[in-house]
């Protein structure tokens, strides 16, 4: 049967629901070379929306499907396709919880130039991300907020397929990307799903048209599978906020939740917009009113309290959230401009790789992370800088690769004589 399926997809014919289910149910029995051949045929010939939805549901049903029906209220989820300095989950989730909408969220670890939500949370002393399903649901019930590592039984078929995609040059197939992301979102059980699809030099989808295609595919999957799903296409031409690195990003998110006026506008705008769109999806009230409500729970401290409550409930140090902290660093290296001019371009993926070299990320999943290491940006795209001005600062508690990270950072920031056009932070919304 597998031979017939391969031959059918090779000829760009549509697979039936039964055929797709048979492939996923037989993953442990079918040789890897046949699954790899099918992935390549899909990468070349694509899939219809119905095929993609069927593949997504088959992968979601390959493991545990969380039942959140015992949680009172409309359950929400937010997913980012990955970027550099993206710490919006630690802002959006507490905002929504403070507004009375439960967010029990399962997230992953970082690999390569993008950071991972779970790694960032584990930089908080004592914070436990490895929760049982029972504890995950109970914490969400009690506090309206819980962020846990994905369980090993959440869409296990996706793990097998992703490992093969990674070694067969089929990672960039939009149907396979969409099915991979949405299988985990559907298995996580939320009723409302908002997708933050990044585009730009730090994103997997580097142009808007590809980001739009992926966003539409995922929105179609979610809605066809009975979940209210929408997407926002946001810019990743530069790191989001000023910080890149685990504890540094948590600290910046906390500052925003405390109402710090020095928080970069881009981080504030994206965080509030994501929150407002989630509220609009759930309640249908005007977006302007949703923006106001999201800002109110930051100003009155309710969002910060929700975050601190979650940290404490998951074994973390509440004082780490509500107090002040100082981290001693072994290496502090400023990145200095060699000329006058405007920041004309930022290789955002390069900045993420520089942070990885400092110890803030992983090249492979077995690598150990240094939670304190990272980068603080001092300039934004379009800023004017003078020769000798600090554009960024590297922080590390490891002795290796600091020089490599410095070179990578210097090569990642381009200074031009002419001020560049600044891309919008939000390009468009889909499904709203």
Please report, for the chain, the start and end positions of each structural domain, with discontinuous segments joined by +.
2-46, 76-150+188-322, 331-416
**Pick the catalytic residue: 105, 109, 184, 277?**
184
- pLDDT tens, position by position, 269-303: 999 999 999 999 999 999 999 999 999 999 999 99
Query: Element (H or E) spanning 394, and its range?
Result: strand 390-396
Give the residue with greater pLDDT, 109 vs 396.
396
- pLDDT value of position 364: 76
Query: If you ran DSSP here, which 8-state letter would residue 115 be given?
Result: -
- pLDDT at 41 (0 to 100): 97
Q: Give the pLDDT confidence of 183-219 residue by residue, as tens digits.
A: 999 999 999 999 999 999 999 898 999 999 999 999 9
158 is catalytic: yes
pLDDT band of residue 330 (cuts 50, 70, 90) is: confident
What pLDDT is recorded for position 281?
Answer: 96
Q: Is 54 a catalytic residue?
A: no
Sequence-distant (6+) residues with CB within 8 A of 24 are 55, 58, 59, 62, 157
Residue 356: predicted pLDDT: 92
Q: What is the pLDDT of residue 153?
A: 87
pLDDT at 292: 97
Looking at residue 149, its pLDDT comes to 92
- pLDDT band of residue 252 (cuts 50, 70, 90) is very high
Calculate the alpha carbon distances from 173 to 3, 132, 217, 269, 310 in Å: 22, 33, 12, 31, 37
pLDDT at 152: 76
Catalytic residue among 180, 237, 337, 373: 180
Can you tell me the distance from the alpha carbon of 356 to that of 110, in angstroms, rounded to the nearest whole number?
10
What topology does CATH give the domain 2-46?
Answer: 1.20.970
Task: Give the residue among 128, 126, 77 at the shortest CA–CA distance from 104.
Answer: 77
Q: Of these residues, 79, 105, 185, 227, which one is catalytic?
A: 79
**Buried residues in 398-424 as b, exposed as e (16+ CB within 10 A):** beebbeebbebbbebbebeeeeeeeee
Could you tell me which of 134, 83, 127 has the C-alpha nearest to residue 104? 134
pLDDT confidence of residue 361:
86
Catalytic, out of 87, 113, 165, 305? 165
pLDDT cut 70: percent of the chain above it: 99
Given a cut of 90, whether residue 366 has pLDDT beyond it is: no
| Residue closest to 84 by CA, chosen among 243, 194, 206, 234 | 243
Opening angle at CA 201, ends 199 and 202, nearest 5: 80
pLDDT > 80? residue 326: no
Looking at the predicted structure, is the pLDDT value of residue 328 above 90?
Answer: no
Burial readout 315-335 (b: 16 or more C-beta within 10 A, e: otherwise): ebbbebbbeeeeeeeebebeb
Assess whether 293 carries a catalytic annotation: no
Apex CA 360: angle with CA 355 and CA 366, to 5°?
125
Return the closest-CA partner of residue 148 out of 66, 233, 219, 243.
66
Mean pLDDT of 140-166: 91
d(CA 47, CA 9): 9
Q: State the average pLDDT over residues 46-67.
A: 95
pLDDT at position 261 is: 86
Which of 54, 119, 158, 196 is labelled catalytic?
A: 158
**Helix (H, G, I), strand (E, B), or coil: what is residue 51?**
helix
**What's the average model confidence in pLDDT over 364-379?**
89
User: According to the model, what pLDDT value does residue 39 have?
Assistant: 96
Determine the Cα–Cα distance for residues 251 and 57; give it in Å rounded to an integer. 37
Mean pLDDT, rounded, of the chain: 94
Residues in the chain: 432
| pLDDT in the model for residue 432 | 85
Q: Given 1.10.150.110, 3.40.1030.10, 1.10.10.1100, 3.30.70.2610, which CATH number is that of 76-150+188-322?
A: 3.40.1030.10
The closest of 50, 49, 51 to 9, measured between CA atoms, is 51
- The residues with which 233 forms a beta bridge, in sequence order, are 197, 428
Q: Please name which of 374, 383, 294, 401 lies closest in space to residue 85, comparing C-alpha atoms.
A: 374
The pLDDT-based confidence of 173 (bands split at 50, 70, 90) is very high
pLDDT at res. 243: 97
Q: Which residues of 58-82 are buried (b: 16+ CB within 10 A; e: fewer)?
A: bbbbbbbebebeebeebbbbbbbbb
Q: Tokens at residue 1, please?
A: 């049967």
* The predicted structure's pLDDT at residue 199: 96
Task: State the pLDDT confidence band at 171, using cuts at 50, 70 and 90.
Answer: confident
Q: Residue 377's beta-bridge partner residues?
A: 392
pLDDT at 380 (0 to 100): 96
pLDDT in tens, 343-354: 999 999 999 999
pLDDT of residue 61: 96
Which superfamily does CATH assign the domain made up of 331-416 to? Pyrimidine nucleoside phosphorylase-like, C-terminal domain (3.90.1170.30)
* The pair of three-digit structure tokens given for residue 131, joined into one six-digit string: 């929760």
**In the predicted structure, residue 407 carries a pLDDT above the cut 80:** yes
Q: What's this model's pTM, rounded to 2 decimal places?
A: 0.94
What is residue 400's DSSP assignment?
S
Concerning whether 318 is annotated as a catalytic residue, the answer is no
The verdict on whether 50 is a catalytic residue reads no
CB atoms within 10 A of CB 293: 17
Tokens of 404: 């490599």
Residue 27, CB half-sphere, CA atoms under 13 Å: how many? 21
Q: Where are the beta strands (DSSP E) in 47-143?
A: 76-80, 103-107
- Tell me the C-alpha distance between 135 and 279, whole Å: 26
Q: 112 pLDDT exceeds 90?
A: no
Q: 258: pLDDT confidence band, cut at 50, 70 and 90?
A: very high
Q: Which residue has the higher pLDDT, 401 or 140?
A: 140
């Amino acid at each position: 049967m597998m031979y017939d399926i391969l031959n059918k997809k090779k000829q760009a014919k549509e697979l039936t629901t039964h055929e797709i289910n048979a492939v996923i149910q037989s993953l442990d029995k079918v040789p890897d070379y046949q699954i790899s051949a099918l992935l390549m045929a899909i990468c070349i010939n694509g899939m219809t929306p119905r095929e993609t939805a069927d593949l997504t549901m088959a992968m979601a049903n390959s493991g545990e499907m969380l039942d959140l029906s015992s949680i009172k209220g409309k359950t929400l989820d937010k997913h980012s396709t990955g970027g550099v300095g993206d710490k919006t989950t630690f802002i959006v989730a507490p905002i929504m919880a403070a507004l009375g909408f439960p967010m029990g969220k399962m997230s992953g670890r970082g690999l390569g130039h993008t950071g991972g939500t779970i790694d960032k949370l584990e930089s908080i002393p004592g914070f436990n991300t490895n929760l049982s399903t029972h504890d995950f649901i109970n914490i969400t019930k009690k506090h309206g907020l819980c962020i846990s590592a994905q369980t090993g039984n959440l869409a296990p078929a996706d793990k097998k397929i992703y490992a093969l995609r990674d070694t067969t040059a089929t990672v960039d197939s939009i149907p396979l990307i969409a099915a991979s992301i949405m299988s985990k979102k559907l298995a996580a059980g939320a009723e409302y799903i908002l997708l933050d699809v990044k585009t730009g030099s730090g994103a997997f989808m580097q142009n808007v048209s590809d980001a739009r295609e992926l966003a539409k595919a995922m929105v179609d999957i979610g809605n066809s599978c009975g979940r209210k799903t929408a997407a926002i296409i946001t810019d990743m031409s530069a790191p989001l906020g000023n910080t890149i690195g685990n504890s540094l990003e948590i600290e910046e998110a906390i500052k925003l939740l405390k109402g710090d006026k020095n928080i970069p506008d881009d981080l504030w705008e994206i965080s509030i917009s994501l929150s407002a769109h989630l509220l609009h999806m759930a309640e249908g009230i005007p977006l302007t009113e949703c923006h106001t409500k999201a800002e109110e729970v930051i100003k009155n401290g309710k969002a910060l309290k929700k975050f601190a409550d979650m940290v404490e409930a998951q074994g973390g140090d509440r004082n780490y959230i509500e107090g002040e902290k100082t981290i001693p660093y072994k290496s502090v290296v400023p990145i200095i401009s060699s000329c006058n001019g405007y920041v004309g371009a930022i290789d955002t993926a390069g900045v993420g790789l520089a942070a990885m070299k400092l110890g803030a990320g992983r090249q492979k999943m077995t690598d150990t992370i240094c939670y304190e290491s990272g980068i603080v940006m001092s300039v934004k795209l379009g800023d004017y800088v003078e020769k000798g001005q600090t554009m960024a600062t590297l922080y590390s508690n490891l002795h290796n690769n600091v020089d490599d990270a410095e070179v990578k950072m210097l090569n990642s920031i381009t200074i031009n004589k002419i001020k560049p056009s600044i891309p919008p932070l939000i390009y468009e919304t889909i499904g709203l």
